[in-house]
């Protein structure tokens, strides 16, 4: 698993916490920041997954 997968998952969790906190206290800015963090986390996870796929493909291609 690529480090970006882990960082992305953590960013998504942070974003969800911000979103919920924003809803609870009525802070739309915090809520929107949380949603943006969740989206950014999803992108990071996708990048990490893509890196894993490329690494696996390179390993397979270099096998004799």
pLDDT, one tens digit per residue, over 17-41 is 999 999 999 999 999 999 999 999 9
Give the structural domain span for 45: 3-61
DSSP 26: T
Q: How many structural domains are present in the chain?
A: 1
For the CA atoms of 26, 27, 31, 32, the dihedral, rounded to the nearest 10 degrees, stands at 130
| C-alpha–C-alpha distance, residues 6 and 23, integer Å | 26
| C-alpha–C-alpha distance, residues 9 and 38, integer Å | 9
Question: Is pLDDT at 2 greater than 90 in this prediction?
Answer: no
| C-alpha–C-alpha distance, residues 29 and 27, integer Å | 6
pTM: 0.84
Contacts of 43 (CB under 8 A, 6+ apart): 8
């Amino acid at each position: 698993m690529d480090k970006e997968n882990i960082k992305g998952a953590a960013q998504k969790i942070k974003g969800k916490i911000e979103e919920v906190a924003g809803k609870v206290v009525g802070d739309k800015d915090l809520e929107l920041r949380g949603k943006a963090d969740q989206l950014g986390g999803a992108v990071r996870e996708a990048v990490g997954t893509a890196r894993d796929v490329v690494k696996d493909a390179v390993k397979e291609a270099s096998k004799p």
